[in-house]
Copies of this chain bind each other. A is one copy, B any other.
């Protein structure tokens, strides 16, 4: 519970109605989209502008009250779970598009805007904001920036980081800084813009962002290739890239995922094949036609059982929508769904999926895998039941093995979901103790009182690494 003095000071900033601390309100913000993590905040606060955030931060820094900035809470790393209490800070009032600049191809927004709303607003002007996390219908841009969200278009277009040009940030000491500008080139000092991107709310509060836009691709085509085996699909992925084609989307679903997705979406996907690639190319008409033609040929040469190009934008949309529904579809199967995002170099995707299957078998847990084959970002998803302690232990072991394997193959523990609480015990596996130390040095230089989203990224203890047996 907040000390009454602190509570009154916060109310004097935002007004009575914007500080919520009834039991019902606190419960709502005690968890996010990540299963199995819950902790009660002391209050929920809804500031109306940067100035109010600045004052809130100063109070919290003085009284050492944790602050957890939260968009829509769609993250999958328990990144917005208020582990150490304190206040959950919402951007309910700060959800506007401030400017779309068609001359300089930028959009300036407040952090609370929904990703899809932003995408639609710029598309209405013939412009394109590529990052498209699966949660984009409900996620906010502020959350996307804090997590450096990826999405299906990452292979060709990059991730959120690649589109953030400028930020306004309230630092833990209450100072406001503005980074970057409407500038494709700017080397005046350290790259604080990108330091903030993906920092998971641990270094400050992003209060405004300017994002880069590009012209919207003229056209788009979608296709589906079915394979008997993982190897065939993996080989096709490699061959597409080796042929110097970078598709906009190059998604992979294994047999298990496919079955569940079809059961959910009912669009006539085959469910008796080993693996599916969902491929999309966009760009000028001639190029899209030519690339899709080449990709069809490559898939056939990689022994695809069947290759099917969507005959209309609607048919294409149905396919990508089905893919986007993978998590929801899988979530119907069991009480608890844990979706991970171990990521490997593109050339290792088939090997990694095979290893995931082996690991699942070893630990006797049910894991389906889908994900962004083009950029090696896989989502092994475990269907389980959090109430079954014994099973949960095996699930945890399986994921630890998966992380270890990903790193062994030159990969990482998280491609686009963030470290949060969930993966913090594994961070040193990827970065080494020296790497984690360097990050701690940075964190504590900026936030000596550890008020910004405490308990995230840095674990109290690194998990003991068990070497995966071949």
* Chain A residues in the interface with B (C-beta under 8 A): 101-105, 126, 147-148, 150, 154-155, 158-159, 161-162, 171, 175-179, 181-192, 194-195, 197-199, 203, 214-216, 238, 241-242, 244-246, 283-284, 286-287, 290, 343-347, 372, 374-377, 410-419, 423, 427, 430-432, 434-439, 441-446, 457
Copies in the complex: 2
Known: A171-B438, A215-B245, A286-B286. A103 touches B347 (CB 8 A): yes
Closest 9 CB pairs of A and B: A445-B445, A215-B244, A184-B375, A185-B415, A103-B347, A182-B345, A194-B194, A175-B434, A286-B286
Q: Are B102 and A242 closer than 8 Å at their CB atoms? A: yes
Q: Are B438 and A192 closer than 8 Å at their CB atoms? A: yes
Known: A104-B347, A435-B177. A430 touches B188 (CB 8 A): yes
Q: Are A241 and B103 closer than 8 Å at their CB atoms? A: yes
Q: Are B439 and A190 closer than 8 Å at their CB atoms? A: yes
Contact among B147, B175, B346, B410 with A187 in the assembled complex (CB-CB below 8 Å): B147
Contact among B150, B171, B183, B194 with A185 in the assembled complex (CB-CB below 8 Å): B150
Which B residues lie within 8 Å of A415 (CB)? Answer: 183, 185-187
- Sampled A-B contacts (30; CB under 8 Å): A101-B347, A102-B242, A103-B346, A103-B347, A147-B187, A150-B185, A154-B184, A175-B438, A178-B432, A181-B412, A183-B343, A183-B415, A186-B412, A187-B412, A187-B417, A188-B412, A188-B423, A189-B431, A189-B435, A189-B436, A189-B457, A190-B195, A190-B203, A190-B439, A191-B199, A195-B195, A216-B244, A284-B286, A287-B287, A441-B445
Which B residues lie within 8 Å of A154 (CB)? Answer: 184-185
Which B residues lie within 8 Å of A376 (CB)? Answer: 182-185
- Give the nearest-CB partner of A345 in chain B: B182
CA A326 – CA B155 in complex, angstroms?
37
Which B residues lie within 8 Å of A104 (CB)? Answer: 345-347
Contact among B105, B181, B286, B443 with A410 in the assembled complex (CB-CB below 8 Å): B181
CA A286 – CA B283 in complex, angstroms?
12
Known: A198-B191, A215-B245. A185 touches B377 (CB 8 A): yes
A377 to chain B, nearest CB (A): 5
- Give the nearest-CB partner of A77 in chain B: B187
CA A430 – CA B343 in complex, angstroms?
38
A344 to chain B, nearest CB (A): 8
Which B residues lie within 8 Å of A171 (CB)? Answer: 434, 438
Q: Are A162 and B162 closer than 8 Å at their CB atoms? A: yes
- Give the nearest-CB partner of A214 in chain B: B246
CA A147 – CA B178 in complex, angstroms?
21
CA A446 – CA B192 in complex, angstroms?
15
Q: Are B192 and A191 closer than 8 Å at their CB atoms? A: no
Which B residues lie within 8 Å of A283 (CB)? Answer: 287
Which B residues lie within 8 Å of A287 (CB)? Answer: 283-284, 286-287
A327 to chain B, nearest CB (A): 17
Q: Are A187 and B414 closer than 8 Å at their CB atoms? A: yes
CA A287 – CA B219 in complex, angstroms?
13
A21 to chain B, nearest CB (A): 32
CA A177 – CA B151 in complex, angstroms?
28
Q: Are A439 and B183 closer than 8 Å at their CB atoms? A: no
Which B residues lie within 8 Å of A416 (CB)? Answer: 185, 187
Q: Are B195 and A191 closer than 8 Å at their CB atoms? A: yes
